[in-house]
């Protein structure tokens, strides 16, 4: 009986995490006039983060030029733009290196992701 309860709890936790992840990926916030919902990447310290929905000015466009392995990001706290390396917070195991890859998306924006690949 206790095993069934534990397994049931684990299933609920897994489903809850999946639903939360799916919600974070869709941008369906109700934003005020002149603002639009956009997915914004976060600076993560330990793991790769999923983007979060954020209301930003409709005409906002990240125009800072960044290298191929970096992404232009907004810092809304001081209305500035910066380049962030996607591999800066990724730790790959021995024999692997971090590589930035463009993935196929079904929503926009579609930022590249950092992936650990076998080194040459």
Tokens for 28, please give them.
């369906």
Give the model's pLDDT for residue 20: 40
Q: CB 50: neighbour CB atoms within 10 A?
A: 15
Give the model's pLDDT for residue 49: 67
How many Å apart are CA 37 and CA 44, to the nearest integer?
Answer: 21
Global confidence as pTM: 0.40
Find out whether 80 and 66 touch, Cβ atoms under 8 Å: no
Give me the mean pLDDT over the 60-87 stretch: 80
- Over residues 42-67, the pLDDT tens digits come to 666 656 667 778 887 777 778 888 88
Of the candidates 74, 96, 99, the one whose C-alpha atom is nearest the C-alpha of residue 86 is 99
Q: β-strands 96-101, 113-118: how paired?
A: antiparallel
Of the candidates 85, 94, 95, 92, the one whose C-alpha atom is nearest the C-alpha of residue 115 is 92
How many Å apart are CA 47 and CA 93, to the nearest integer?
Answer: 14
- Domain boundaries of the chain, sorted by first residue: 2-118
- Over residues 100-117, the pLDDT tens digits come to 887 787 777 677 788 899
CA 79 to chain centre: 20
Flag whether pLDDT at 72 surpasses 80. yes
Tell me what the pLDDT averaged over the chain comes to: 71
Flag whether pLDDT at 6 surpasses 70. no
């Amino acid at each position: 009986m206790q095993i069934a309860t534990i397994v049931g709890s684990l299933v609920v936790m897994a489903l809850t995490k999946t639903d939360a992840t799916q919600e974070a990926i869709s941008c369906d916030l109700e934003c005020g006039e002149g603002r639009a919902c956009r997915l914004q990447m976060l600076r993560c310290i330990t793991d790769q983060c999923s983007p979060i929905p954020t209301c930003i000015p409709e005409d906002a466009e990240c125009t800072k030029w960044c290298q191929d392995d970096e992404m232009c990001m907004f810092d809304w706290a001081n209305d500035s733009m910066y380049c962030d390396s996607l591999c800066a917070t990724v730790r790959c195991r021995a024999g692997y290196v971090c590589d930035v890859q463009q993935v196929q998306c079904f929503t926009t924006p579609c930022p590249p992701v950092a992936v650990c690949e076998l080194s040459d």
